[in-house]
Chain A
Amino acid sequence: MDVRVSAGVGAPYEEEQMSKVRVLVGTRKGAFILTSDGKREDWDVSGPHFAGWEIYHLKGSPADPNRLYASQSSGWFGQMIQRSNDGGQTWEPVGNKFEYEGVPGTHQWYDGTPHPWEFKRVWHLEPSLNDPDTVYAGVEDAALFRSTDGGQTWQELAGLRGHGSGASWAPGAGGMGLHTILLDPINPGRMFIAISAAGAFRSDDAGATWRPINRGLKSDYIPDEEAEVGHCVHRIAMHPSRPDVLFMQKHWDVLRTDDAGELWHEVSGNLPTDFGFVIDVHAHEPETIYVVPIKSDSEHYPPDGKLRVYRSRTGGNDWEALTSGLPQRDCYVNVLREAMAVDSLDPCGVYFGTTGGQVYASADAGDSWTPIVRDLPAVLSVEVQILP
C-alpha cells in the first residue's frame, strides 16, 4: 500500500531547510539534548542534564515545543519531575507526589502472591496534544496519573487499576511499568496505554474508565495464552492520521489492529526474531513501520551480532533489513522500548538509542544510518521535536 499523509493531522510536511531538529535522550546517568538543522547532518550535544540520575523519559509538549517534561529518578533519592520552559536550557523541579487513589490494594507478585501497590518511578510522560500544562505520567507499579497544572500536582486516573483485572496484574522482569500512552488526535477522549506485563488498555472517556484490548494476543508464558490480561506488551505505536490502527511489539510477536484494539493479528512475517522492544510508524506513510529484532529469551542483543532495523512498507509481514551505517558484526547492545522516534520532516527521520550509548539517526527513512553520538550512558528513551 502506498499511502502518504502528514504526521500532524491537516499539517503540511515540514521543510528540512527551515527547520531545527531537537532529539531528547534519556539515559541511565542523565539527559542529553541533541540539536541539528533540518539536514540532520551536524549535531550539537548538550548535557548531561541531571548528571548521575536515571532519566527514564523526557518529552516536549506538542502545543508548546519549548515546554519539556523529564522523569528524573534515583534508587537513593526517589522520583523527581523536571520542567523546562525554554527547550531544556533551564529546568525547575515540579511536583513529585504520586499517591494512589484510595486504598492501593494489591497486585500479583512474581510468585503469584498478592503484593501491595507501591510507587517506584515514572516510566513515561505524555504531554497533552493541545495544553502545555496537561501531562500524563505512566508509573511503576502500573498506574496512570495526570497533571493539569504543569506537573505541580498529580492525580491518579484510578479507573485503570480499578476496572477489575488490576489485582491479577504481575510485573515482568523489568518491573510492572505503564510505559506507553497514546492520545488519539481525532477521537476526543480516546487514549491507549500499555503495561508490562498486563497488556494494552483503552479509554473512550478521557481516562475515567478503561477496558483491556488484548483479544488476538497469544502468550505461551501465561497459563491461558489468550487471557484477557497478562500479556507482556513492550510497545504500541500509532500514526496520528489513523488512530484506529495500532502496531504492537510484544514479548514475542509483532501485531496490528485495525479497529482500535478490538482484535489484533500477528504481522511478524519474515523477521529474524519476533522479539524486540521498540516499534514506530513513518511520519508520512502510515503503513511503513519499524522494529529492531532482539534475540531472546534473556540474551537481549541483536541476532548474530548484527544491529538491524527492520522496515515494513506493507503494515507488517513483509520486512526488509536496514543495515547501512549500522554495525554488522560484534554488536551486542539492546534497544529499549522508549528508545525510538521519528520526526516529521520529509524525508522522515528515524532515531534510536542503544544500551551501548549510541544514538543513531537516519535522515532518509531508514535507508542509511549515522551515529549522532557513540558513547553516552545506556540510552533509555529517545524523542524528537521539529522546531520552526
Chain B
Amino acid sequence: MIRVILPQHLRTLANVGREVTLEVEGPVTQRSLLDALETRYPMLRGTIRDQVTQQRRPLLRFFACKKDLSYEPPDDPLPIEVTSGAEPFYIIGAIAGG
C-alpha cells in the first residue's frame, strides 16, 4: 500500500482527504505511482504531469523520506520506506506567487 499526500487544490479536485492510498503493480517508481494515482483519480490527469510530455509541472515537487526526489529519473525505484507504506510520498505545490 502506497501512501500519497496531495496538495490542497488536488484534494478538492479529487474530492479526497489529505492522504490517499494506492496499490501499485510492479516496481514502484514515480511513473508507476503517478500512473496508479491518475487511473484511480482521472480528474488529476494533467495536474501533476503535463499530459503530452509527461514532465512534472514546474511548480510541483516530489518529497519522501525528507528528500527532494523531484529530479530523480521517473523510472528509478522509490525508497523502500515509501514502497512499504512506512513513509508517504508527498506531492507539494511550490510556495510561490499570489
B74 within 8 Å of A by Cβ? no
Contact present for A76 and B57 (CB under 8 Å): yes
Shortest Cβ distance from A96 into B: residue: B46
Contact present for B57 and A97 (CB under 8 Å): no
Within 8 A of B (CB), among A64-123: 74-80, 93, 96-97, 99, 119
A93 to B7: give the CA distance in the assembly, Å: 18
B40 within 8 Å of A by Cβ? no
Contact present for A75 and B52 (CB under 8 Å): no
Give A133 Cβ to nearest chain B Cβ, in Å. 19
Contact present for B97 and A75 (CB under 8 Å): yes
Contact present for B9 and A76 (CB under 8 Å): yes
Shortest Cβ distance from B57 into A: residue: A78
Contact present for B46 and A79 (CB under 8 Å): yes
Q: Main SS of the interface on chain A? A: loop
Q: For residue A74, which residues in chain B have a CB less than 8 angstroms away from its CB?
A: 9
Contact present for A93 and B43 (CB under 8 Å): yes
Interface size on B, residues (CB 8 A): 19
Pick the residue among A52, A53, A76, A97 that contacts B46 (CB under 8 A). Answer: A97
Interface size on A, residues (CB 8 A): 14
A131 to B28: give the CA distance in the assembly, Å: 44
Give B56 Cβ to nearest chain A Cβ, in Å. 11
Q: For residue B9, which residues in chain A have a CB less than 8 angstroms away from its CB?
A: 52-53, 74, 76-77
Shortest Cβ distance from B10 into A: residue: A77
Contact present for A78 and B46 (CB under 8 Å): yes
B18 within 8 Å of A by Cβ? no
A99 to B46: give the CA distance in the assembly, Å: 12
Give A346 Cβ to nearest chain B Cβ, in Å. 41
B93 within 8 Å of A by Cβ? yes
B47 within 8 Å of A by Cβ? yes
Q: For residue A96, which residues in chain B have a CB less than 8 angstroms away from its CB?
A: 45-46, 51
A163 to B93: give the CA distance in the assembly, Å: 39
Residue-wise, chain B 14-58 has the 8 Å CB interface mask toward A (1 for contact) of 000000000000000000000000000001011110111000010
Give the B-binding residues of A (Cβ under 8 A).
52-53, 74-80, 93, 96-97, 99, 119
A52-B9, A79-B46 given; 8 more Cβ-contact pairs under 8 Å? A74-B9, A75-B96, A76-B7, A77-B47, A77-B57, A77-B60, A80-B13, A80-B47
